[in-house]
Chain A
Amino acid sequence: MACAASTDPSGMLDRGWRVAPQVAVRPEPFGALVYHFGTRRLTFLKSRLLLDVVSALADHGTARDACRAAGVAEDEMPGYVTALATLAGSGMIVRRDGA
């Protein structure tokens, strides 16, 4: 899948993720606030759909399945890959296999 490679260079869509243990998520009308108690960083999820994706991560084998379950359309997927990569980069979400 050449296309998948270009939109998901890190291959994160095909891995399992979850919200990090030190992280709290608070839904808000615009989306959610995400706070990491260890780094004391606050991040805004700027849509309810992204909150749904993040909440669904733990219940699905891969991030791709979580996105689909939350109702993310295929053509919206790249935006969500970027968002999830940013969350992973700041330690807000972590790999389920601990890698």
Chain B
Amino acid sequence: MTAIARPPMRLVDQLETGLDAPICLTWELTYACNLACVHCLSSSGRRDPRELTTDECMAVIDELERMQVFYVNIGGGEPTVRRDFWELVDYAVEHHVGVKFSTNGSRITPLVAARIASTDYVDVQVSLDGATAAVNDRVRGPGSYATAIGAMENLAQAGFEGFKLSVVVTRENVSQLDAFKALADRFGAQLRLTRLRPSGRGADVWEWLHPTAAQQRELYEWLLAHGDTVLTGDSFFHLGGYGSALPGLNLCGAGRVVCLIDPIGDVYACPFVIHDEFHAGNVREPGGFARVWRESELFTELRRPQHAGACASCGLFDKCRGGCMAAKFFTGLPLAGPDPECVLGHGERLLAERGNSPIPKPSVDMSKRTPRPARTQPPPHPCDESPLAVLRSP
């Protein structure tokens, strides 16, 4: 993102007061998914029978067109499992709403790849959380690495340049950043790295999977070295405290420039806070999405100046802006205060002091009820910090 001409007020301050419509809207079309990733931010698995119908989805698209929302980030669940998925994509494009959808790649056949490659208005990001099958499949499930690679081969073969390879940075894959970049380059794709949040099932594994302080520093240096050739969803602004700001918008956009529409039409402040406390309304209510965005009590409140709390006296606050609301909320930290991954270690200290006091749980859990299949993994080791060793124990 670039900015032009000198403003009377810094852009980041203006954006924090909200926009007439979101810049970046995430729309999870379904909670149904053929995978069961251990860190799924939306606790997906099963379809919710109250899912928006095709007509209701089209009405939302009509509204987005009226609001001039340039594009939506469609996710899930696995959005392509919806029978009307392509119908909705076509409808959005016809109505001047661009689509970028996230997929595990299971349905990106050569035919689908050719279809996506034929238009500028559809972009795709393939999720992969390890540059090797061993690292990826421990988190995303057996065979998921091969599936994603196959999808990327099909996209490259179809001549789709610049699709996204989307990686959630974890303790286990942070050493593979160069390998991810090489993989993206091999397929003519663009690498996108995002932050692991303790959201959805991510809460169960965050403690074991989130990068260590030393790894965060390494990640920051790597991101600085690669500039805006690597996308981040602007999700690492909490690392700005290490020195220079990273490229992108360095602020929490929740309810100000971003929000989430979930499969049943509930609107949340961001994709990582599916919890009643951050529920702003529902697109099925009178006034639809536009009214929720413009008038909901929650979003109005989020657009007021926020208290820095314990961070107010910190010299780095202007850089990290207190970090990620979702990361704080789902680790049980106060919203006015440091991020759990605060570069000065204030978050870690608070987490230690918090002890075993209760942590808020997500309001939605559509995880499959059946036990997850056993995963191939190395034999347990006394020092093993793998989240799966923990999941396997009960």
Let me know if B236 is at the binding interface, CB within 8 A.
Answer: no
Let me know if B1 is at the binding interface, CB within 8 A.
Answer: yes
Check A44–B11 contact: CB distance below 8 A: yes
Cβ–Cβ < 8 Å partners of B9 in chain A: 30
Given known contacts A29-B20, A33-B23, is B5 in contact with A43 (CB within 8 Å)?
Answer: no
B152-178 interface bits toward A, Cβ cutoff 8 Å, 1 = contact, 0 = none: 000000000000000000000000000
Query: Distance (Å) between the CB of A27 and the closest chain B CB?
Result: 8
B1-24 interface bits toward A, Cβ cutoff 8 Å, 1 = contact, 0 = none: 111111101010011010111010
Check B98–A37 contact: CB distance below 8 A: yes
For window 7-51 of A, CB contacts with B under 8 Å fall at 22, 24, 26-31, 33, 35, 37-38, 40-47, 50
Query: Distance (Å) between the CB of A24 and the closest chain B CB?
Result: 6
Given known contacts A37-B121, A38-B120, is B4 in contact with A28 (CB within 8 Å)?
Answer: no
Residue of A nearest to B14 (CB): A30
Cβ–Cβ < 8 Å partners of A33 in chain B: 19, 23, 70
Cβ–Cβ < 8 Å partners of B98 in chain A: 37, 40
Query: Given the complex of chains A and B, what is the CA–CA distance between A43 and B249 in angstroms?
Result: 12
Residue of B nearest to A54 (CB): B4
Let me know if B123 is at the binding interface, CB within 8 A.
Answer: yes
Out of B7, B68, B121, B123, which one reaches A26, CB within 8 Å? B68
Residue of B nearest to A51 (CB): B5
Query: Given the complex of chains A and B, what is the CA–CA distance between A87 and B123 in angstroms?
Result: 23
Given known contacts A26-B68, A28-B19, is B123 in contact with A40 (CB within 8 Å)?
Answer: yes
Cβ–Cβ < 8 Å partners of B100 in chain A: 40
Query: Given the complex of chains A and B, what is the CA–CA distance between A22 and B70 in angstroms?
Result: 11
Out of B1, B7, B14, B70, which one reaches A24, CB within 8 Å? B70
Residue of A nearest to B69 (CB): A26
Cβ–Cβ < 8 Å partners of A26 in chain B: 20-21, 68, 70
- Count A-side interface residues using an 8 Å CB cutoff: 27
Let me know if A55 is at the binding interface, CB within 8 A.
Answer: no
Query: Given the complex of chains A and B, what is the CA–CA distance between A26 and B6 in angstroms?
Result: 19
Check A46–B5 contact: CB distance below 8 A: yes
Out of B6, B20, B21, B121, which one reaches A46, CB within 8 Å? B6
Cβ–Cβ < 8 Å partners of A46 in chain B: 3-7, 11
Cβ–Cβ < 8 Å partners of A41 in chain B: 1-2
Let me know if B96 is at the binding interface, CB within 8 A.
Answer: yes
Let me know if B71 is at the binding interface, CB within 8 A.
Answer: yes
Cβ–Cβ < 8 Å partners of B71 in chain A: 35, 37, 40
Cβ–Cβ < 8 Å partners of A44 in chain B: 1-4, 11
Query: Given the complex of chains A and B, what is the CA–CA distance between A74 and B2 in angstroms?
Result: 25
Query: Given the complex of chains A and B, what is the CA–CA distance between A50 and B11 in angstroms?
Result: 15
Out of B3, B7, B17, B68, which one reaches A43, CB within 8 Å? B3
Check B6–A24 contact: CB distance below 8 A: no
Query: Given the complex of chains A and B, what is the CA–CA distance between A37 and B96 in angstroms?
Result: 9
Cβ–Cβ < 8 Å partners of A40 in chain B: 71, 98, 100, 123
Known: A26-B21, A33-B70. 4 other contacts (CB 8 A): A28-B20, A29-B20, A40-B98, A40-B100
Please give the residue numbers on chain B whose beta carbons come within 8 Å of chain A beta carbons, in ascending order: 1-7, 9, 11, 14-15, 17, 19-21, 23, 68, 70-71, 96, 98, 100, 120-121, 123
Report, nearest first, the 9 A-B pairs whose CB atoms are least far apart: A35-B70, A46-B7, A26-B68, A30-B14, A44-B3, A83-B4, A46-B5, A38-B120, A83-B5
